[in-house]
Amino acid sequence: AYTNPSSHLVVVSSPGVGHVTPLAGLTKLLVLRHQFTATFVTFSDVPCSLPSSISTIQLPPPPLKDIHSDTHILTRICLTIAHSVSPLRQILISLQRTTRIAAVIFDLFGSDFLSMVKELGIPAYVFITSNYFFLSFMLHLPILEDTTTGEFRDLPEPLLLPGCVPLKGEDFLEPVQKRKSEVCAWVVHLARHYDLFDGILVNSFEALEAGATKFFKKRGGGNPPVWPIGPLIWPGSDVDSEQPSHKCIEWLNQQSSGSVVFVCFGSGGTLTWEQTRELALGLEMSGQSFLWVVRAPNETEISGSFFNPNKTGDDPLGFLPEGFEERTKERGMIVLSWAPQREVLGHCATGGFVSHCGWNSTLESFVNGVPMVAWPLYSEQRMNAVLLVEGAKVALRVNVGEDGVVRRDEVAKVVKNLIEGEEGKEVRQRMQELKKEAVRAMEKEGSSYKAMEEVVSILKDTTAA
Ligand code: UDP
């Protein structure tokens, strides 16, 4: 064990549960297992309890007048970060008076902090809270931007990234789908910086992305090292055994093993009114048991509840089809806005997961061996869906109609297929195998465990220097 008391890390998370959770998880791991001290910097409360040895600092949000309400969520995060360079600089300078900072670790929005941190002489690392497929894409994006014109979805051939499944233009990140947009420019800007960090950590594991991991191991060429350190998810032990279980867990306790399909679109996903109805009627038609985290529909935003996950209207379930709750009460459970997802996925009654393919949700499904229906909505989720369906073969992909809506008969078909069908059986088996690999990667001597040891030894060396 290391005993150097001056190995201090600063970990900075961008806004959003999907970013704060893995960054907090990483901080906790580095402090508890590797004896670092740490300061965790974020923009909101931390949604999970950190050990008291980690001090937390909250950065002020940017003035709202600078950001229009219809600005893309990702642009909003980038503007928030750009606005925070100076406050973070003050924090680091003040810490440096008493502490030697071994490194600052950012998430994938950290690019604009990079030159400031380098100026202060502190090593900077980026933690990609997604996978190698995403990282490969981002590193290639500036080349695409500089060498092609027109929309990416009109590219004549799928993109072949080293060691990855082919990627069609239509499945590129949602924010780059309109090349002339402000948000696309932001993504390219973020991407141009990743290889300038001192090291890149990825929340993935070798067995999932063998080809890409191998490519990055050999990459060299003056590029920073890349380490697979996942699946890093928030440990389930956060459940307080003193507290009564959430009502959906009580309900799951009554259901037979592997019978329930869990439907949840992450912390931010929202559907239109029409899509919400089609999903409801499809779940009803499927005849399967379901646990559905329902959100108030949003006609304009697919990540509508990102900054405000608990928003509910006056009649919180008034948008559901008439009589739906009554007709499905024997086998359906509805939870408004938020469910204890990790606990749900770890419950033996849960047999499938209809997911937006957010990467944290996906990793949580892996470690619990729950096969998925991929229903991507925003961000890099379409790429994750390709990785899950065509690469790992642990998910069935939902067919979206030409009008952009997934119709009720498609919902019924895919949900039934996942729980009872032949294809469902295949993805379930494959998911069981992947679960073993995922768990093994994090165990002592596992690939991600060893990668993490390597990262730690470099960070400790930096401190000693
Ligand atoms: N989550 C949850 N309950 C919910 C919805 C989401 O606990 O009802 C958690 C989920 O377990 C995951 C995170 O929120 O850890 C969502 O992250 P993900 O990357 O899947 O999606 P994002 O919200 O960033 O789109």
Residue 44 is predicted with a pLDDT of 86
- Nearest 5 degrees, angle CA 379-CA 381-CA 387? 140
Pocket test for ligand 1, best of 267, 270, 301 (most atoms within 8 A of CB): 267
* d(C-alpha 50, C-alpha 376), whole Å: 31
**Ligand 1 centroid from CA 362, angstroms:** 9
Write down the residue that tokens 């580095």 correspond to. 30
Atom of ligand 1 nearest to the CA of 18: 24
Residue nearest to atom 8 of ligand 1 (CA): 338
Atom of ligand 1 nearest to the CA of 267: 23
**Ligand 1 centroid from CA 399, angstroms:** 23
Residue 1 is predicted with a pLDDT of 41
* d(C-alpha 407, C-alpha 399), whole Å: 9
**Ligand 1 centroid from CA 255, angstroms:** 23
* d(C-alpha 315, C-alpha 360), whole Å: 30
Buried b or exposed e, range 12-36, using 16+ CB within 10 angstroms: bbbbbbbbbbbbbbbbbbbbeebbb
Pocket test for ligand 1, best of 361, 362, 377, 379 (most atoms within 8 A of CB): 361
Q: Do residues 125 and 199 make contact, with C-beta atoms less than 8 angstroms apart?
A: yes
Residue of 317, 305, 248 whose CA lies nearest to 271: 305
14: tokens are 């961008």
* d(C-alpha 205, C-alpha 130), whole Å: 11
Residue of 9, 10, 17 whose CA lies nearest to 46: 17
Q: How many helices (H) and strands (E) does the chain have?
A: 16, 13
**Ligand 1 centroid from CA 29, angstroms:** 20
Residue 307 is predicted with a pLDDT of 52
Q: Do residues 371 and 424 make contact, with C-beta atoms less than 8 angstroms apart?
A: yes
Atom of ligand 1 nearest to the CA of 265: 5
Beta bridge partners of 137: none
Beta bridge partners of 104: 10, 124
Intervals of the chain under pLDDT 50: 1-4, 309
Q: Do residues 204 and 438 make contact, with C-beta atoms less than 8 angstroms apart?
A: no
Atom of ligand 1 nearest to the CA of 234: 15
* d(C-alpha 396, C-alpha 282), whole Å: 16
Atom of ligand 1 nearest to the CA of 16: 24
158: tokens are 């799928």
**Ligand 1 centroid from CA 60, angstroms:** 24
Residue nearest to atom 17 of ligand 1 (CA): 18
Residue 62 is predicted with a pLDDT of 76
DSSP string, 161-209: -TTS--B-GGGS-GGGSSTTSHHHHHHHHHHTTGGGSSEEEES--TTTS
User: Tell me: the pLDDT tens digits for 353-391?
Assistant: 999 999 999 999 999 999 999 999 999 999 999 999 999
Buried b or exposed e, range 174-203, using 16+ CB within 10 angstroms: bbbbebeeebbbbbbebbebbbebbbbbbb
Residue 305 is predicted with a pLDDT of 55
Residue 461 is predicted with a pLDDT of 86
Amino acid identity of 329? K
Q: Within 10 A of 428 (CB to CB), how many other CB atoms are there?
A: 18
pTM higher than the cut 0.90: yes
**Ligand 1 centroid from CA 357, angstroms:** 10
Residue 359 is predicted with a pLDDT of 98
**Ligand 1 centroid from CA 267, angstroms:** 4
DSSP string, 390-412: III--EEEPPPPTTS---HHHHH
**Ligand 1 centroid from CA 264, angstroms:** 8
**Ligand 1 centroid from CA 98, angstroms:** 37
User: Tell me: the pLDDT tens digits for 317-360?
Assistant: 999 999 999 999 999 999 999 999 999 999 999 999 999 999 99
Task: Give me the helix-helix angle, 408-420 and 422-442, nearest 10°.
Answer: 70
Q: Pocket residues for ligand 1 (CB within 6 Å)? A: 16-18, 21, 264, 266-268, 293, 338-342, 358-361, 364
